[in-house]
Structure 1
């Protein structure tokens, strides 16, 4: 299996490509701000052909480039219906004051948008990708899981979006955020095996076991309040 990625734009949101192997079809996860150039480099390097874009949620730092990426390759974008409106109106994902930052920019949906549902399995690019609805950071946040196999393990990789980071969790103080709900989503996610590889929307990779043991927001699963800083 091939997984590669890079932090895109000023938000440094991780954009990933996932394929069974080099030279095959792939899916793109979260093409954020100015992601098109870095994505083209990865596709050329590994000789990959995208067949779909998967979006963990609708915040602008994760969907900024989705329309041009999909349009250039005539491929669909998948997003949960609760976040779909953010594709064309990203200001709704921020406070009124912060939303004004995007007032002079125009965004639109890709021509082909398909909606995700909890528990669905997507069969794309030779991969079986499980969708888990994990609201709390936004109403339509999801994670994606797919088997990750090599000579030494048989586990899964999870693209966690802004649900779970190395050492932290997603903020819940933006429109659509809900701290109690993200705790429920995290509790469900923490039932995965320790060896599950976590590729978050920002920052370095981690594992479920490492976060269960060391993440201060997960240690008792009910800390006093969630983070209100960061992305």
Structure 2
């Protein structure tokens, strides 16, 4: 499996491309701010043909470029219905203070074709089979995507649910700390230790490493509630 990732925009959100290999079809995950040109460069470099965009959640740092990318390639965007409204109204995910911080309104719109994700759905895209996990907490419509390689490796694209050493913030509109704890207990901790985590911000990690070192998962493993997470991205 070919996995290409790069950070984009002022908040350095990670955009990923996944494909069976060079010169094949691919999916794009989380095309955020300032992503159009570097994305086009990676598509040319690896001779990839995109067939879909997958969104881990609706915050603008992860989906700001979804309309130009999807419409430019005539491909659909997949998003959970609870976050779909953010594609055309990103301010709803920021609150008044966040909107003021980022200069008020940000012009965004839905792409021409939007398809909705559901918990447990199996997607067969670009020759890859991906499982959708609804992972609310950071936003109501946050999802993670799990897939595997022919070599036996496991991947999880966690969005802003799980980072290396931290978890996503829950203090913005749509965030819910109790739901985040339930997500971590029910959807993250049960995963095999060798699962490679591709997060929405920061470096790659593994479930095993986070289980052993992430203070939020350690608290949950001890049966205590995890503390509020420090801010990282949106």
Which TM-score applies when normalising by structure 1?
0.96
Alpha-carbon shift at residue 135 of structure 1 (Å): 0.1
CA distance in 1, matches of 2:79, 2:24: 23
The answer to whether the aligner puts 1:212 opposite 2:211 as a matched pair is: yes
Counterpart in the other structure of 2:180: 182
The answer to whether the aligner puts 1:158 opposite 2:156 as a matched pair is: yes
Q: Note if contact 2:2-2:21 (Cα within 8 Å) is conserved in structure 1.
A: yes
1:224–1:16 CA distance, 2 compared to 1 (3 A): closer
Counterpart in the other structure of 2:146: 145
Counterpart in the other structure of 1:31: 31
Structure 1 stretches of 4+ with a deviation exceeding 6 A read none
CA distance in 2, matches of 1:165, 1:42: 24
Q: Note if contact 1:179-1:225 (Cα within 8 Å) is conserved in structure 2.
A: no
CA distance in 2, matches of 1:76, 1:141: 18
The answer to whether the aligner puts 1:69 opposite 2:69 as a matched pair is: yes
Counterpart in the other structure of 2:200: 201
Long gaps (5+) in structure 1? none
Q: Note if contact 2:166-2:215 (Cα within 8 Å) is conserved in structure 1.
A: yes
- Deviation string, structure 1 residues 19-71 (Cα, Å, up to 9, x no partner): 00100000000000011111111101110000000000000000010000001
Number of residues paired by the alignment?
Answer: 228
Alpha-carbon shift at residue 143 of structure 1 (Å): 0.1
Q: Note if contact 1:172-1:228 (Cα within 8 Å) is conserved in structure 2.
A: no
Q: Note if contact 1:123-1:129 (Cα within 8 Å) is conserved in structure 2.
A: yes
Counterpart in the other structure of 2:110: 109
Which TM-score applies when normalising by structure 2?
0.95
Q: Note if contact 1:171-1:226 (Cα within 8 Å) is conserved in structure 2.
A: yes
Counterpart in the other structure of 1:167: 165
Alpha-carbon shift at residue 89 of structure 1 (Å): 0.3
